[in-house]
Structure 1
Amino acid sequence: MKWRIKGRELDLARRGVVMGILNVTPDSFSDGGRHAAVEEALEHARKLIAEGAEIIDVGGESSRPGSAEVPAAEEIARTVPVIRALRREWDGFISIDTWKASVATEALAAGADIVNDISGLTGDPAMAGVCRESGAGVVVMHMQGTPGTMQFAPRYDDVVAELRAYFAERLATLTAAGLDPATLCFDPGIGFGKGHEHNLELLRHLDRLAPEGFPLLLGISRKSFIGRILGSDRLDERDWPTVAITAHTREMGVMLHRVHDVRPNVEALRMVEAILRVPVSG
């Protein structure tokens, strides 16, 4: 299993990879406002990289439940200077977390390699063309509704079957639009238009979601359903449960993990891989 990204390949056959979250927004649910300035964002990116992140995911618009849309110009102003600065000093993979084609275009020109689109390339009709022409890696996420509406009583008859069908449709549609299928990976969008039981059902059946042979990216870090299980609203109490999910889902074959707290999740991946007899060298 390899993910093709702007002419390079990320080998996911044996080693799980951590995508470190770098929010440059004033209102993210977990770390809003902490990394809004370029130097602060760059310092945090360096920390994530030192802890083992192989991808840095830069986001300039909060997608927490109930959040409002940010104008593209503002999103570009928040993210592009950070991407440009990070690219000057690091040759690893940089992702732009956006559903807007204009933002993706500017971010890719500044040095980003991956487009992480919460709308699954359905939110902006120009996005597929941007991804096709750039050769960027693409994260195709599932979301029911929009961030502003997605948690208003989400409903499914069979959440696993419906997400599997959605990903199959996205693969067929995007391939027909000219995207290289090797550039695609899929994200079930835990917490994006899903209720508590939907999230748990998806986690039980991750091996049934992505089209065969395609990587799945899992973003569960500090999500509210963890707090519900724990009976706590404290974000700092969600980090170790996140690590537990990372370890469990790596054993299930999930190779891409998007998290806030990088080091313990990387360590969890390496421990599970040792048990699975994966060579340390990858």
Structure 2
Amino acid sequence: MTLRLGPHAYDESDRLVMAIVNRTPDSFYDKGLTWHEDAALDRVRQVVEEGADIVDIGGIKAGPGPVIDAEEEMRRVVGFVGRVRGEFPGLVISVDTWRAEVGRAVCQEGADLLNDAWGGYDPGLVDVAAEFGVGYVCTHTGGATPRTRPFRVEYADVVDDVVASLVAQADRAVARGVDRSRVLIDPAHDFGKNSWHSLEVTRRLEELTSTGWPVLVSLSNKDFVGEALDLPVGERLVGTLATTAISAWLGAQVYRVHEVVETRQVLDMVATIAGTRRPSVMTRGLA
């Protein structure tokens, strides 16, 4: 199935890099490095130069913290989306939000994709995507409340639950009017899951990719990587890239990441091994 984001169309074999841009002072990874708007815009310029296909802008960190109401979230992201759209008219802009009112405001500024990271917590967000003709990311959180950490979550079979939930969400999005070619599904590693669950989802990712819906994975420096290797956030790149390679081989299409260059190289290498991409240079044994 062709994936359409903004004005672009992508084949199933295309692997897209979605660069994270946090408009927050307390991100778990960058600790507020792009909190100020000019710094965030510099980050956008950097990742575009590095080859990012999509930028994902968020105004609230995923984990627990101070309450951020819709007005404050909009203050952080709406005008910024407008600035990014003005400077990069062809760039795919995604916004990470669970609120319909925020989604509406960013779509009015030119957002192309609503990344509903909390699995339809606000059922009106999908209607905003339909109204504006933008893309929509369905996520599996096991029914978790936004910004809460999992505690002794249990599933009879986590992958069965993920597949059933995401297919139902995707079907609902289409029924509500979202273009089928603009719907993605995300198993949401770490969200509503312990590390065993996230590892199981990764091992069995082909059960998601075989549904026919484009799969987005957000693996970058996650806790399941850190717990697998007993490493803190700043030392999880190698584990993240190993997980990225596995996910690419199993068919995931979009990768939400902090490190663009390294991710692009891994995706290109996997695609070259798979035979869907030609080597950049081929001279060994020929010259």
Q: Hey, what does 2:42 align to over in structure 1?
A: 43
One-letter code aligned to 1:243:
L
Normalised to the residue count of structure 2, the TM-score between the two structures is 0.92
Deviations 1:107-126 (A, max 9, x none): 11112100000122x22232
User: Does structure 2 conserve the Cα–Cα contact (< 8 Å) formed by 1:22 and 1:57?
Assistant: yes
2:83 maps to: 85
Out of 139, 142, 158, which is 2:140 matched to?
Answer: 142
Q: What per-residue deviation string (whole Å, max 9, x for no partner) do you get for residues 31-68 of structure 1? A: 1321111110000111111111100000001112x345
**Secondary structure of the residue that 2:155 maps to in structure 1?**
coil
Q: How many residues are paired up?
A: 278
Partners of 2:135 and 2:178 within 8 A in 1? no
Runs of 4 or more above 4 Å deviation: none
Aligned to 2:106: 107
Deviation at 1:242, TM superposition (A): 1.0
How much identity, in percent, do the aligned residues show? 35
**Corresponding residue for 1:229?**
228
Letter paired with 1:82: F
1:127 Cα deviation from its structure 2 partner: 1.2
Aligned to 2:95: 96
| Partner in structure 2 of residue 170 of structure 1 | 169
Give the equivalent residue in structure 2 for 1:253.
251
Query: Is the 8 Å Cα contact of residues 141 and 191 (structure 2) preserved in structure 1?
Result: yes
8 Å contact kept, 2:136–2:178:
no
Letter in 1 for 2:167: A
Describe the superposition over 1:84-129 as per-residue Cα deviations: whole angstroms up to 9, x where unpaired: 1111111210000001011111111112100000122x22232122
Q: Which moved more, 1:89-98 or 1:166-175?
A: 166-175
The equivalent of 1:207 in structure 2 is 206
Q: CA deviation at 1:69?
A: 4.3
**CA–CA distance in structure 1, aligned partners of residues 8 and 30 of structure 2:** 31
Q: Distance in 2 between matches of 1:203 and 1:88?
A: 37
**Structure 1, unaligned runs of 5 or more:** none
Structure 2: gaps spanning 5 or more residues: 280-287
Q: Distance in 2 between matches of 1:148 and 1:205?
A: 26
1:76 to 71, 74, 77: 74
Match of 1:153 in 2: 152
Query: 1: CA distance between counterparts of 2:8 and 2:136?
Result: 13
Change (3 A) 1:68 1:164: farther
Contact 1:28/1:62 (<8 A) preserved:
yes
C-alpha RMSD of matched pairs (Å): 1.8
CA distance in 2, matches of 1:81, 1:22: 14
Alpha-carbon deviation of 1:275?
Answer: 1.2
Other-structure match for 1:194: 193
Cα pair 2:78 2:109 within 8 Å, conserved: yes
Q: Partners of 1:186 and 1:68 in 2: how far apart?
A: 29
> What is the distance in 1 between the residues matched to 2:8 and 2:276?
20
Structure with bigger RCO (C-alpha 8 Å, 6+ apart) = 1
Measure the CA separation in 1 of the matches of 2:210 and 2:262.
29
Structure-1 separation of matches of 2:150 and 2:200: 17
Once the 2 structures are TM-superposed, how far is the Cα of residue 147 of structure 1 from its aligned partner?
3.8
Distance 2:225 2:91 in 1: 30
Could you report, residue by residue, the CA deviation over 1:213-238 in whole angstroms, capped at 9, with x for unpaired residues? 210000010001111111122x2211
Aligned equivalent of 1:267 = 265
Secondary structure, in 3 states, of the residue corresponding to 1:19?
strand
1:240, distance to aligned residue in structure 2 (A): 1.8
Cα distance in 1 between the residues matched to 2:183 and 2:31 = 29
Deviations 1:136-189 (A, max 9, x none): 111111112124434121111100111111112112322222222221000001
* Alignment correspondent of 2:14: 15
Asked if residue 132 in structure 1 is aligned to residue 130 in structure 2, the reply is yes
